[in-house]
Structure 1
Amino acid sequence: MEFRDRLLLENRAWADEMSARDPEYFTRLNHGQAPDALWIGCSDSRVPPEQLCNASPGDLFIHRNVANLVADGEAGFLSVLEYAVHVLAVPHIVVCGHYGCGGVAAACSDEPVPLAHVDAHIEPLKALRNRHRETLDALNGVSARINRLVELNVRAQVERLAELTLIRTAARPPALHGLVYATDRGLLESVCYREPEPLAQAVPA
């Protein structure tokens, strides 16, 4: 069976199953969205947000990129963040990394990345690695260094989010959660949490 045909077949089976369980399911979804969180995750195919959170369509507003970076220099990322915070008014933002991340592994390596766009994208990760080089190099084994940088990266992205004007000027700034997913166990682990302070509002003269 061709890939396209399999996709359409699986979609029809899923839609039929959901309608059988709840005949009004798609009618409710069609009326709009009010997700609980913006999820900023890695593009890795092994880390599907809805499945690992046991979430349903409509629960999560999702942005994924290599190594789950807060790419505040990219219009695509900023448009997702702006819509999530200032239109959908999500009460939570999750930054989720995962152990064994290929993007983080590339940043840990001293070998040049042969893919120009990937190399440019993970430049902040390389800088983070250099800031923590002494600590990382003291760890035993490549996997340990990669996984520690995964955790440091999640923390750094949460801190970066907290600094952004798009977050701090929200009518109700969202809570920021840093999670790491263990692909070998299927479990999420919390590594940090932050409630950002809004910018001081100007007092009318």
Structure 2
Amino acid sequence: MPSYEQLFENNRRWAAEKTKGDPQYFERLSAEHNPDYLYIGCSDSRVPANEIMGVEPGEVFVHRNVANLVNNVDLNVMAVINYAVRYLSVKHIIVCGHYGCQGVRAAMQPRDLGILNPWLRNVRDVYRLHKAELDALADQEARYARLVELNVTEQCISIIKTAAVQRSYVNGGFPTVHGWVFDMRTGHLKDLQLDFPQLLRGVQEVYNLTDKDTIF
């Protein structure tokens, strides 16, 4: 683990490396911010958004929290989604969970977690919604991995419920919402292949926040 002072030395080397072959790199970076992607992921330091996606700074707008949750009363994530959709006009919103998520594992334990209780209740609600499927899995690790995937899917649905996303899709045909899971054992991303139009139709039956009777 590098020392605190070493972090600044690392930064200087990184900046020098970036400008070595491209003297205008930081000039361009500071000029504009027009990413096509909003990434909502877990705060786990082992899952760095830019690196696992293979993109440069400026190409993805990032929000991270414990267990990659999209809670409609969390003004932080709601502000990020609204800004990304209404002002950056992102074309894709990605929720990325990861196998081995400690937040999801903690939510699986029937015990008092103090200040984490209200936050992780969102994951426990996902477990409750899918209890029959999860309890049918005899292997604890398989159940854990499946809850990670289901949690990502439910957070994608929470994004689709927002007025900003619905209105943008009606008016411009974007953004599309995607669910991913990162596997730290292989370094690979798994696309959960969510049927976004079908999810949107299902959500609109109850959560239609547009001025249209139907999105399609």
TM-score (norm 1): 0.91
Give 2:160's aligned residue. Answer: 162
Secondary structure, counterpart of 1:51 in structure 2: helix
Q: Structure 1 pair 54/82, CA: closer, same or farther in 2 (3 Å)?
A: same
Distance 2:87 2:184 in 1: 33
Q: Structure 1 pair 55/2, CA: closer, same or farther in 2 (3 Å)?
A: closer
> 2:123 aligned with 1:125, yes or no?
yes
Identity of aligned residues (%): 38
Aligned length, in residue pairs: 200
CA positional deviation for 1:2: 7.3
Give 2:151's aligned residue. Answer: 153
> 2:211 aligned with 1:200, yes or no?
yes
> For the aligned residues, what is the CA RMSD?
1.9
Which structure 2 residues correspond to residues 172-187 of structure 1 after superposition, within 5 A?
Answer: 172=172, 173-187=174-188
Contact 1:98/1:180, CA 8 A, preserved across alignment = yes
Contact 1:41/1:95, CA 8 A, preserved across alignment = yes
Contact 1:155/1:192, CA 8 A, preserved across alignment = no
Task: State the AA in 2 paired with 1:78.
Answer: M
Task: State the AA in 1 paired with 2:210.
Answer: L
* Structure in which a larger fraction of residues adopt helix: 2
Give 1:54's aligned residue. Answer: 54
> 2:89 aligned with 1:89, yes or no?
yes
Which segments of 5 or more consecutive residues in structure 1 lack a partner in the other structure?
A: none
Distance 1:22 1:140 in 2: 54
Which structure 2 residues correspond to residues 14-163 of structure 1 after superposition, within 5 A?
Answer: 14-113=14-113, 115-116=114-115, 118-163=116-161
Task: State the AA in 2 paired with 1:133.
Answer: K
Distance 1:60 1:2 in 2: 27
Contact 1:100/1:143, CA 8 A, preserved across alignment = no
Distance 1:163 1:72 in 2: 9
Moved more, 152-161 or 168-177: 168-177
Q: Residue deviations 1:76-123, cap 9 Å, x none?
A: 11111111000000001000000111111111112222x41x221111
Q: Structure 1 pair 2/156, CA: closer, same or farther in 2 (3 Å)?
A: closer
CA positional deviation for 1:201: 4.7
Q: Residue deviations 1:23-73, cap 9 Å, x none?
A: 111110111111120000000111101011111000100000011111221
